[in-house]
Amino acid sequence: MLEIMKPSGILFDWGGVFTVGTFDGRVVRNTARRFGLDEDEVARAYFAEVQRLELGEWSLARFWEYFAAALGVEAPYADFEALFLASVAPRSEMYRLLVAIPGEVRVGLLSNNYPVISDYLRAGEGFDRFDAVFFSNEEGVKKPDPRAFEIALERLGLPATEVLFVDDHPDNVAAADELGLDTHHFTDTPPFAADLTARGIHLPVGPSRP
């Protein structure tokens, strides 16, 4: 049987791993409900330009200017920012797992993210466990571009072969595989916790409990 190596570091995605469901999906649903619109219509407008947020080309206020016009609605930017932040649905058991990872294992965050949300996360509980952070909106490049992984690994201070990459998106997992990282396609906390145990990372608490 092929031996599974214990990683020296873990590089996490955020949305879909530390959140329940996808953040974008919740923004679309919440926007549709707030303005009484068809969800598919909102999704088309949202995803047409959301990459500008991911790459830091637009502020959230600029995105709302576009988004409101595309949807034919009127509301102050502050209302949309509040809706945007309220669309974060933390997966609490993953945050418990995060802080339970032994200190000798370096931990990084590699996230395609947005203005306002990146600041919100930095101020949040448990964020200081990350030894290295990469937010696409601050770097101008996003997964699955190899440059995003290279920057994150450089900040983590580890070679790809010593790092476990954790993401819920198959394209990002495939990109990490090609770069030589070990990978875990995230679906839920209990399978991930079991994978860590199999890799020799033993958690002192039961993170899979709700």
206: in domain: no
Q: How many helices (H) and strands (E) does the chain have?
A: 10, 5
Specify the pairing of strand 163-167 against strand 182-185: parallel
- 60-71 helix and 77-86 helix, angle to the nearest 10 degrees: 100
Least confident of 23-27, 81-85, 102-106, 122-126: 122-126
Contact 38/32 with Cβ under 8 angstroms?
A: yes
Residue where one domain finishes, among candidates 35, 63, 86 = 86
Q: What is the pLDDT of residue 21?
A: 86
Q: For 31-61, what is each residue's pLDDT tens digit?
A: 999 999 999 999 999 999 999 999 999 999 9
**pTM for the full predicted model:** 0.92
Residue range(s) defining the domain that contains residue 40: 23-86
Considering the domain architecture, whether residues 70 and 155 belong to the same structural domain is answered as: no
Tokens of 17: 């791993």
Considering the domain architecture, whether residues 123 and 187 belong to the same structural domain is answered as: yes
Q: What is the pLDDT of residue 10?
A: 98
Number of domains in the chain: 2
